[in-house]
Structure 1
């Protein structure tokens, strides 16, 4: 199982063999279950109108409920979650396992990731278990994704990073005057700006980094976008198709409300990792 910051809809995740614990999304004092109670577009529309969106970790009680349910029909649970540097969700998962005295039956893994790479890590853990592996092999699979995958994101506007306190107003102003946008990557469990590029060059720059990293090696690629923008998604697919990447498997995901709340509509990312067949 995993949590909703993997950005896989609950129904899709279940079809893939994953169960999802939702984080909480808070709008105008009302709390919603991420990925269940809200269409992401409603969150993005609220942000475009100037509204603020907050998030809260999945509570311990939610983990206890799902762990009980799964342990009634399974030998054990492997629970793969977003970075503990970004949220208390993984701490709540561990507290729930302790409260249930689950012992070796519940294995909680801090992936150090979120969004596209978290989904990939959870699926890698699933694959390890389906191949007959144990919890240690699932944890090794998660760690391997963190080491092998390269996922980079960028934003079309600095406004939402500034609203969320990740940029000052002065930094936003300078970035807009120069036309620069950050390229973000997970590092040490946090999403950090690794470089700044011209807004129009961001996608080309990200794909060039992926090409440099993987060469002609077959890769699994995932594209994520905050919002249902058919034109932008078509542009992302076309750019990927025109790249030198040897894409053996591709997937498109929408970024969910808990992630989108912090980066804003129009944010996109591309992730690649070696294709394992």
Structure 2
């Protein structure tokens, strides 16, 4: 059976990893003033967003994932011909409509795939499974990494789906923002102020250089710690991730993404120690620039981190 993997462009994974495993991307359109950007994780677009300072306009941007019809067309025109089973792993359904749109599209796809496959001389059924990652950004990559391992091990469709849903429930995602004013402005634009950094917290935090450490877990997002200064916050986050690596992960991978040049992330305090610890414990460290969609939503210079682990209490 030919397996395929589909993710939305907010999933942060290295371009080389996606190319090596044939991972397909569902783009997200971003309206910046009079210009529309199509975020398909093209490294050139990420570089342009940073080099031209487009993030200064990001808080007011409009983002629009593929519609149900667009997702359906991508599958019927291409994916049903290349694969016999596709796993679509989406950003958490509590923060984006992509999961629900993909789920609705799956009904039309599974009712219509026979015609294009028959015309191409392909026998046999086509299967599609949509999985809510329950997390976002770098953490979304953890489930994708596990999917590639399961496909490589020739696991059954049922076993893969069961495992991916288990990993989704046990994936921890963390984010450290640089600009609380930006985060608040973006939350207001999306009508999400009740779940985000308030005006007083943003003002006080910026004045004192206090940075919140935010967690995404089982579809819920919120602060779990704080640090004075971005570097201090990054060091605390890296140290926490090291402790989880030593305790043992459910998937031998730790994903990092950064809203800027990765050289800046690698220069942060605690990074070298985290990389060494991952190497000592057989954990692959996957690093990528944050997607343009991610930077629009949380700001340039933000750091995100994700791994899968047994249930535990985060302490910072």
- Residue 80 of structure 1: how far off its partner (Å): 1.2
* CA RMSD of superposed structures (Å): 2.8
Q: Deviations over 1:85-110 (max 9, x none)?
A: 11111111112111231697211111
Q: 1:238 aligns with which of 247, 252, 272?
A: 272
SS of the aligned residue for 1:56 comes to: strand
Aligned counterpart, 1:202: 233
Give me the whole-angstrom Cα distance separating, in 1, the residues matched to 2:307 and 2:289: 16
Aligned counterpart, 1:24: 29
Q: How does 1:1-277 map to 2 (within 5 A)?
A: 1-8=6-13, 12-35=17-40, 39-44=45-50, 45-48=53-56, 52-68=60-76, 69-100=78-109, 101=111, 105-165=127-187, 166-199=196-229, 200-215=231-246, 217=248, 219-228=252-261, 230-235=263-268, 237-241=271-275, 246-248=280-282, 249-273=284-308
- Residue 254 of structure 1: how far off its partner (Å): 0.7
SS of the aligned residue for 2:96 comes to: coil
* Structure-2 change in CA distance of 1:74 and 1:220 (3 Å): closer
* Structure-2 change in CA distance of 1:118 and 1:50 (3 Å): closer
Give me the whole-angstrom Cα distance separating, in 2, the residues matched to 1:250 and 1:59: 33
Return 118-127 or 97-106, whichever deviates more. 97-106
- Residue 266 of structure 1: how far off its partner (Å): 0.7
Could you tell me the TM-score, scaled by structure 1's length?
A: 0.85
Could you tell me the TM-score, scaled by structure 2's length?
A: 0.76
Return 83-92 or 172-181, whichever deviates more. 172-181
SS of the aligned residue for 1:266 comes to: coil
Compare CA radii of gyration and give the structure with the larger one: 2
Q: Could you tell me whether the CA contact under 8 Å between 2:14 and 2:288 is conserved in 1? A: no
SS of the aligned residue for 1:6 comes to: coil
* Structure-2 change in CA distance of 1:169 and 1:204 (3 Å): same
* Structure-2 change in CA distance of 1:254 and 1:175 (3 Å): same
- Residue 51 of structure 1: how far off its partner (Å): 6.4
Give me the whole-angstrom Cα distance separating, in 1, the residues matched to 2:225 and 2:265: 23
Return 93-102 or 245-254, whichever deviates more. 245-254
Give me the whole-angstrom Cα distance separating, in 2, the residues matched to 1:270 and 1:247: 18
- Residue 12 of structure 1: how far off its partner (Å): 4.6
Q: Could you tell me whether the CA contact under 8 Å between 2:71 and 2:105 is conserved in 1? A: yes
Give me the whole-angstrom Cα distance separating, in 1, the residues matched to 2:211 and 2:290: 19
Give me the whole-angstrom Cα distance separating, in 2, the residues matched to 1:79 and 1:95: 12
* Structure-2 change in CA distance of 1:193 and 1:246 (3 Å): farther
* Structure 2 stretches lacking a partner, 5+ long: 1-5, 114-125, 188-195, 310-316
* Structure 1 stretches lacking a partner, 5+ long: none
Give me the whole-angstrom Cα distance separating, in 1, the residues matched to 2:45 and 2:238: 29
